[in-house]
C-alpha cells in the first residue's frame, strides 16, 4: 500500500505554515470585533454606541444600516441576518461590528455599548420547540415497506427515547478573515473557510456587488470539522463590508471565547424509536422520529436532517422503515455541519433500539446486529440498492482477526473476579454514504499548469484543513504525469482560479477534486505523449512517462521530462488544462424521497472494550480494534490518521463532551475548563486498524474510498461498551440512551436502584 507524508508536515513542525493570522498585514490594517446579543431572545429597544464611538482609535461601528446590498447570509433558507435589526434570536447573535486601530481599543469599545432588550420567551430544547410548533421548515419522512402491518407480525416490540448532545468543533485555528481592498471596488478575502465560494456569493449579496468583485483565497485551515462549511461566512462578510466603506484592510480573528459563544455546533437530537423483531432476531420494522435542535436559523440544518434519515438504519437491512425528522427552531446559535453531518445522530438511535431490544429479549446486542447486517442488493429506505457491500465482510473479519470469542471470555472472567471494576465490550458496524446528499453539489474542477521548466502548479476547489487533501491531489498529479513529487506544487484555493466550488465537505473532497486533477493531467499527458512520439519517432501507443522520463514499451528512453516540456513549448502546445468532474449516476427525487444519492458507501466494524471503575464512575477505553473498508487506499498513513482522529472525536462526543446552555440560552460550557475534550488520557489505550482487502470502487479516486467522516461513528461503540460494564455491576440499571455517557452519569447508573 502506498503512503506519503503530509506535504505540510515540514512547515507545520517548524511553525512556518501560514494561517490567516500569520499573513503579514498592511501597515494601515484595521481590526474588527463583533458586538453580540447579551440575551437569547428579545426585541432590541435601543443600542447606544456614543461612548464607544467617542473612544480614541475607533474608526467606525457598523450595523445593519450600513449594508448596501441585502442583510441576509442564509445559505439554504434566507432566514439569517448578518447583523440583527430589531430582534435577537440567540445569545451571541452579531448586532454590530466595531472597527478600530487595534484589537485592544475595539475590546474596550465593546464594553461601552449599552443595549436595552425587551426579553421574549426562550426555547433551548428541540422537544419544547416541537410542542410550541417552532420549526425551521417542513418535516421530512422516508419510508420503505409498511411498518404498521409489520409491527403486527413481530414477536418483540420495543419503544424508547434517546438523546445525543451537541459537540463543539474546537478547530485549533478559530474563525477569522483578513480583507484587503483591491482596485475599482474589488476586495480580496483571506479566510479560514471550507467554502470559499459560499463566502464569495454571500459577500457579493450583502455588499450589493457582482461576484467578480470578491476574491476569496485560502491557504489552509487549522481544522474545520464542518464548523467552517457555512459558519466562516459571517466574519468574512463583516470584514468585507468594512473594507467597502473604509477602503482599508480589515482583519478579524475571533478569540476562543467569542468563537465558542457565537458559533453553532453539532445538533443535539431528541429521538423516539419503535423496533419490532421476530424470534430469529430479524428486525422486521423500525420507526424513528428525530427532533433536531436546529438553533435560531436554518444554516445547514435541513441538509443535516436529511442525512439523519439516510443513515437511520446504519449498516442493517430493515424491510419496513418509517422515519421522520423535524428541524426544530430554538434560541441557540444556529447549529451546523459537524463531521458525520447528522449521520451519527441517526445511527445512535438504531444502535440504542437494538440495545433496548437485546436487553428486553435477554440476548447479546451483537446477535441482533449480526442477524441484520446489510447484504448485496438490499434496499435502503431511500431506494438505493446496496452493492459492493462490506457490512458482513468487515463484521466477520473483525470477529476473526481480533478473536472476539476470546475477548468475550476474558471479559466474563474479569467481571467474575472483580467486584469494583467491570469490563464491557461492543461491536459497532458502520455504513456511510459518500456524496453530498444534495446531488447538484457533487462536482469539482482543477486547473493544472506545467511551467516551461517542467515544474507543475495545481489548483483545485479543495480546501486543506489538516485532512491532507493537498497531499492526495499532489499524488494524483504526480502519478498521472509520471513525475516526482518535488515537481508538483499545490496552490492556494482561490475563487479566481477555480470557481463555483462546493465546500470541502461530505468526505468527498479528495474524490471530486482528485477526479478533476486526474482528468486535467490525462489531457496534458495525451498532448505530451504525442510530442514525445514525434521527437523519438515512435508510435504514440508505446509511450509512457515514468520517473521524470519518457519510456518506450516501459523502458527508459533518453528523453527527459524537462526536454519534452521545452520542446512542447517550442511547438506551442498548451501546457495548461482546466477539467471539470461531476459524479455520474447519482440522483435523488425529493418529491418521492427515493433515488440513488450516493456514489458508494464506506463500511467497517469496530470492537471496543472498556473498563469501568465502579467506585468512581470513571472509565478507560482499553482498546478499539477496527476492520475498515478503505477500498484501495492511495495513502494508508494519512487514511489511518483520519480513522484515529475521527474515532477520538466520536468517542469525545459519546463520553465527555457536554455542551450546556442555561434555560436563558446562555452557553455555560464556554471554556475548556467546563467543556472537556478527549486528551491522551481519555483516548483508547490501543487503537488497531486493519484494512479490509477489497476490489475498491471506481467512483473513488484511484479506488481509494473517502475516509473523512465514516470512522467517527466507530465512537458510538464506546457508549454501549460502557453500558454493558455498568449493567455487569448493577443488574437494576435500566438502560438509558442519553449521550454523552459522562463519568457523572456512569456513577449514577452504577448506583441506580
Ligand atoms: N455538507 C453538505 C455535508 O452540504 N452536504 C452533505 O451531504 C454533507 N455530508 C457530510 C458533510 N457535510
Ligand atoms: Mo462537513 S460535516 O463540513 O463534511
Q: How far apart are CA 501 and CA 225, in angstroms?
A: 18
Our mutation pick for probing the ligand 1 site, out of 303, 338, 649, counting the most ligand atoms within 8 A of Cβ, is 303
Q: Pick the residue whose CA is nearest to atom 12 on ligand 1.
A: 506
Please indicate whether residue 307, judged by its CB atom, sits closer than 6 Å to ligand 1: yes
Instruction: Report the greatest alpha carbon distance in the chain.
Output: 87
Our mutation pick for probing the ligand 1 site, out of 311, 436, 465, 504, counting the most ligand atoms within 8 A of Cβ, is 436
**Helix axis angle, 561-570 relative to 509-536, nearest 10°?**
80
For ligand 1, the distance from its centroid to the CA atom of residue 203, given in whole angstroms, is: 22
What's the pLDDT score for residue 671?
A: 95
* Phi-psi category of residue 22: left, alpha or beta, with phi > 0 → left and psi -120 to 50 → alpha: alpha
Q: How far is CA 471 from CA 67, 220, 280, 457, 465, in A?
A: 40, 12, 48, 13, 11
For ligand 2, the distance from its centroid to the CA atom of residue 628, given in whole angstroms, is: 20
Query: Element (H or E) spanning 347, and its range?
Result: helix 343-361
| Contact yes or no for 581/443 (Cβ under 8 A) | yes
| Contact yes or no for 447/497 (Cβ under 8 A) | yes
**Helix axis angle, 301-310 relative to 343-361, nearest 10°?**
40
Backbone angles phi, psi at 695, to 5 degrees: -80, -15
What's the pLDDT score for residue 51?
A: 98
Q: Pick the residue whose CA is nearest to atom 3 on ligand 2.
A: 226
Q: How far apart are CA 595 and CA 168, in angstroms?
A: 33
Q: How far apart are CA 619 and CA 603, in angstroms?
A: 28
Q: How far apart are CA 85 and CA 489, in angstroms?
A: 46
Query: C-alpha cell of 365?
Result: 446486542
Q: Give bridge partners of residue 114 from the DSSP assignment.
A: 48
Q: What is the mean pLDDT of each run of 10 residues along the chain (753 residues)?
A: 91 97 96 98 98 98 98 97 98 98 98 98 98 98 98 97 98 98 98 98 98 98 98 98 98 98 98 98 98 98 98 98 98 98 98 98 98 98 98 98 98 98 98 98 98 98 98 98 98 98 98 98 98 96 98 97 98 98 98 98 98 98 98 97 98 98 98 94 96 93 98 98 98 98 98 97
Write the DSSP string, 348-376.
HHHHHHHHHHHHHHTS-HHHHHHHTB--T
Q: Which residues are known to be catalytic?
A: 709
Residue with the three cell numbers 463519568? 743
Strand 456-460 and strand 443-450: the pairing is antiparallel
| Contact yes or no for 264/169 (Cβ under 8 A) | no
Our mutation pick for probing the ligand 2 site, out of 306, 442, 505, counting the most ligand atoms within 8 A of Cβ, is 505
Q: How far apart are CA 529 and CA 310, in angstroms?
A: 45
CB atoms within 10 A of CB 714: 27
Ligand nearest to C-alpha 167: 2
Q: How far apart are CA 513 and CA 462, in angstroms?
A: 6
Ligand nearest to C-alpha 465: 2
Q: Pick the residue whose CA is nearest to atom 10 on ligand 1.
A: 506
> Which residues contact residue 629 at a Cβ distance below 8 angstroms, ignoring those fewer than 6 apart?
390, 393, 394, 602, 603, 604, 691, 692, 694, 705
Q: Give bridge partners of residue 160 from the DSSP assignment.
A: 273
Under DSSP, the state recorded for 135 is B
Write the DSSP string, 483-517.
--GGGEEEPPEETTTS-SPPPS-TT-HHHHHHHHH
Please indicate whether residue 226, judged by its CB atom, sits closer than 6 Å to ligand 2: yes
Query: Which atom of ligand 1 is the closest one to the Cα of 502?
Result: 4
| Contact yes or no for 71/275 (Cβ under 8 A) | no
Q: Pick the residue whose CA is nearest to atom 3 on ligand 1.
A: 506
Query: Which atom of ligand 2 is the closest one to the Cα of 224?
Result: 3
Under DSSP, the state recorded for 316 is B
| Contact yes or no for 564/476 (Cβ under 8 A) | no
What's the pLDDT score for residue 695?
A: 87
Backbone angles phi, psi at 578, to 5 degrees: -115, 125
Query: Which atom of ligand 2 is the closest one to the Cα of 503?
Result: 3
Query: C-alpha cell of 511?
Result: 474524490
For ligand 1, the distance from its centroid to the CA atom of residue 341, given in whole angstroms, is: 6
Please indicate whether residue 741, judged by its CB atom, sits closer than 6 Å to ligand 2: no
Q: Is 525 strand, coil or helix? A: helix
Three-state secondary structure readout of 618-664: CEEEEEEEEEECCECCCCHHHHHHHHHHHHHHHHHHHHCCCCCECCC
Ligand nearest to C-alpha 228: 2
Query: Element (H or E) spanning 276, and its range?
Result: strand 269-277
Query: C-alpha cell of 214?
Result: 470578491
Query: C-alpha cell of 461?
Result: 476547489
Q: Can you list the pairs that 377-380 forms with residues at least 24 positions away whose Cβ atoms lie under 8 Å?
A: 378/317, 379/144, 379/317, 380/144, 380/310, 380/313
Backbone angles phi, psi at 20, to 5 degrees: -55, -45
Give Rg (Cα) of the chain.
27
Please indicate whether residue 235, judged by its CB atom, sits closer than 6 Å to ligand 1: no
Backbone angles phi, psi at 271, to 5 degrees: -135, 155
Query: Which atom of ligand 2 is the closest one to the Cα of 505?
Result: 4
Strand 456-460 and strand 187-191: the pairing is unpaired
Write the DSSP string, 137-152.
S--EEEEES-HHHHHH
What's the pLDDT score for residue 2?
A: 83
Please indicate whether residue 436, judged by its CB atom, sits closer than 6 Å to ligand 1: yes
Please indicate whether residue 169, judged by its CB atom, sits closer than 6 Å to ligand 2: no
- Our CA angle for 256, 257, 261, nearest 5°, is 115
Please indicate whether residue 339, judged by its CB atom, sits closer than 6 Å to ligand 2: yes
Please indicate whether residue 20, judged by its CB atom, sits closer than 6 Å to ligand 1: no
| Contact yes or no for 268/659 (Cβ under 8 A) | yes
Please indicate whether residue 266, judged by its CB atom, sits closer than 6 Å to ligand 1: no
Please indicate whether residue 171, judged by its CB atom, sits closer than 6 Å to ligand 1: no
Our mutation pick for probing the ligand 2 site, out of 304, 506, 712, counting the most ligand atoms within 8 A of Cβ, is 506
Residues in the chain: 753
Please indicate whether residue 232, judged by its CB atom, sits closer than 6 Å to ligand 2: no
What's the pLDDT score for residue 66?
A: 98
| Contact yes or no for 694/390 (Cβ under 8 A) | yes
Please indicate whether residue 488, judged by its CB atom, sits closer than 6 Å to ligand 2: no
Amino acid at each position: 500500500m502506498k503512503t506519503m507524508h503530509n506535504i505540510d508536515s515540514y512547515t507545520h513542525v517548524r511553525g512556518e505554515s501560514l494561517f490567516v493570522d500569520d499573513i503579514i498585514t498592511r501597515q494601515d490594517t484595521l481590526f474588527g470585533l463583533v458586538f453580540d446579543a447579551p440575551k437569547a431572545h428579545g426585541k432590541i429597544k435601543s443600542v447606544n454606541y456614543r461612548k464607544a464611538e467617542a473612544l480614541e482609535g475607533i474608526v467606525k461601528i457598523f450595523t445593519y444600516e450600513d449594508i448596501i446590498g441585502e442583510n441576509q447570509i442564509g445559505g439554504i433558507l434566507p432566514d439569517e441576518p448578518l447583523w440583527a435589526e430589531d430582534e435577537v434570536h440567540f445569545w451571541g447573535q452579531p448586532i454590530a461590528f466595531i472597527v478600530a486601530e487595534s484589537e485592544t481599543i475595539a475590546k474596550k469599545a465593546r464594553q461601552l455599548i449599552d443595549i436595552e432588550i425587551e426579553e421574549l420567551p426562550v426555547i433551548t430544547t428541540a422537544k419544547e420547540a416541537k410542542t410550541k410548533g417552532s420549526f425551521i421548515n417542513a418535516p421530512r419522512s422516508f419510508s420503505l415497506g409498511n411498518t404498521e402491518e409489520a409491527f403486527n407480525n413481530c414477536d418483540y416490540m420495543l419503544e424508547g427515547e434517546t438523546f445525543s448532545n451537541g459537540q463543539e468543533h474546537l478547530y485549533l485555528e478559530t474563525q477569522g478573515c483578513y480583507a484587503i481592498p483591491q482596485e475599482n471596488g474589488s476586495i480580496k478575502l483571506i479566510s479560514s473557510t471550507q467554502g470559499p465560494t459560499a463566502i464569495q456569493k454571500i459577500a457579493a449579496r450583502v455588499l450589493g456587488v457582482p461576484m467578480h468583485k470578491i476574491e476569496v483565497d485560502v491557504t489552509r485551515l487549522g481544522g474545520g470539522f464542518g464548523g467552517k462549511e457555512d459558519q466562516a461566512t459571517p466574519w468574512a462578510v463583516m470584514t468585507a463590508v468594512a473594507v467597502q466603506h473604509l477602503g482599508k484592510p480589515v482583519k478579524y480573528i475571533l478569540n476562543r471565547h467569542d468563537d465558542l459563544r457565537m458559533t453553532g455546533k453539532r445538533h443535539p437530537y431528541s429521538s423516539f424509536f419503535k423496533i419490532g423483531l421476530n424470534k430469529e432476531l430479524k428486525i422486521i420494522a423500525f420507526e424513528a422520529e428525530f427532533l433536531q435542535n436546529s438553533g435560531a436559523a436554518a444554516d445547514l440544518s435541513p441538509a443535516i436532517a436529511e442525512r439523519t434519515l439516510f443513515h437511520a438504519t446504519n449498516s442493517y437491512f430493515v424491510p419496513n422503515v418509517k422515519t421522520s425528522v423535524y428541524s426544530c427552531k430554538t434560541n441557540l446559535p444556529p447549529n451546523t455541519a459537524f463531521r458525520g453531518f447528522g449521520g451519527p445522530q441517526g445511527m445512535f438511535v438504531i444502535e440504542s433500539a437494538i440495545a433496548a431490544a437485546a436487553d428486553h429479549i435477554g440476548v447479546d446486542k451483537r446477535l441482533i446486529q449480526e442477524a441484520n447486517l446489510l447484504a448485496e442488493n438490499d434496499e435502503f429506505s431511500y431506494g438505493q440498492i446496496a452493492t459492493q457491500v462490506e457490512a458482513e465482510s468487515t463484521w466477520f473479519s473483525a470477529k476473526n482477526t481480533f478473536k472476539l470469542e476470546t475477548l468475550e471470555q476474558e471479559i466474563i472472567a474479569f467481571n467474575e473476579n472483580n467486584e469494583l471494576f467491570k469490563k464491557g465490550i461492543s461491536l459497532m458496524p458502520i455504513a456511510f454514504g459518500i456524496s453530498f446528499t444534495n446531488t447538484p453539489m457533487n462536482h469539482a474542477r482543477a486547473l493544472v499548469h506545467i511551467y516551461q521548466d517542467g515544474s507543475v502548479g495545481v489548483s483545485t476547489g479543495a480546501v486543506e484543513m489538516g485532512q491532507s487533501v493537498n497531499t492526495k491531489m499532489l499524488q494524483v498529479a504526480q502519478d498521472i504525469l509520471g513525475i516526482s513529487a518535488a515537481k508538483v506544487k499545490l496552490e492556494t484555493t482561490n475563487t479566481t482560479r477555480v470557481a463555483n466550488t462546493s465546500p470541502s465537505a461530505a468526505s468527498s473532497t479528495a474524490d471530486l477534486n482528485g477526479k478533476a486533477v486526474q482528468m486535467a493531467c490525462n489531457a496534458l499527458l495525451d498532448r505530451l505523449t504525442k510530442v514525445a512520439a514525434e521527437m523519438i519517432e515512435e508510435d504514440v501507443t508505446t509511450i509512457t512517462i515514468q520517473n521524470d522520463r519518457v519510456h518506450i514499451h516501459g523502458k527508459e528512453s533518453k528523453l527527459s521530462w524537462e526536454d519534452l516540456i521545452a520542446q512542447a513549448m517550442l511547438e506551442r502546445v498548451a501546457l495548461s488544462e482546466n477539467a471539470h468532474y461531476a459524479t455520474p449516476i447519482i440522483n435523488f427525487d425529493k418529491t418521492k424521497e427515493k433515488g440513488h444519492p450516493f456514489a458508494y458507501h464506506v463500511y467497517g466494524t469496530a470492537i471496543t472494550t472498556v473498563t469501568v471503575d465502579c467506585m468512581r464512575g470513571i472509565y478507560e477505553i482499553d482498546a478499539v480494534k477496527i476492520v475498515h473498508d478503505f477500498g484501495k487506499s492511495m495513502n494508508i498513513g494519512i487514511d489511518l490518521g483520519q480513522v484515529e482522529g475521527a474515532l477520538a472525536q466520536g468517542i469525545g462526543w459519546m463520553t465527555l463532551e457536554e455542551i450546556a446552555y442555561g434555560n436563558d440560552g446562555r452557553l455555560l460550557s464556554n471554556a475548556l475548563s467546563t467543556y472537556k475534550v478527549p486528551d491522551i488520557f481519555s483516548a483508547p489505550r490501543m487503537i488497531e486498524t486493519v484494512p479490509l482487502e477489497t476490489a475498491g470502487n471506481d467512483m473513488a479516486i484511484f479506488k481509494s474510498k473517502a475516509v473523512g467522516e465514516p470512522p467517527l461513528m466507530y465512537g458510538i461503540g464506546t457508549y454501549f461498551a460502557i453500558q454493558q460494564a455498568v449493567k455487569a455491576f448493577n443488574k437494576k440499571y435500566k438502560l438509558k440512551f442519553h449521550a454523552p455517557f459522562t463519568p457523572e452519569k456512569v456513577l449514577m447508573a452504577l448506583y441506580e436502584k
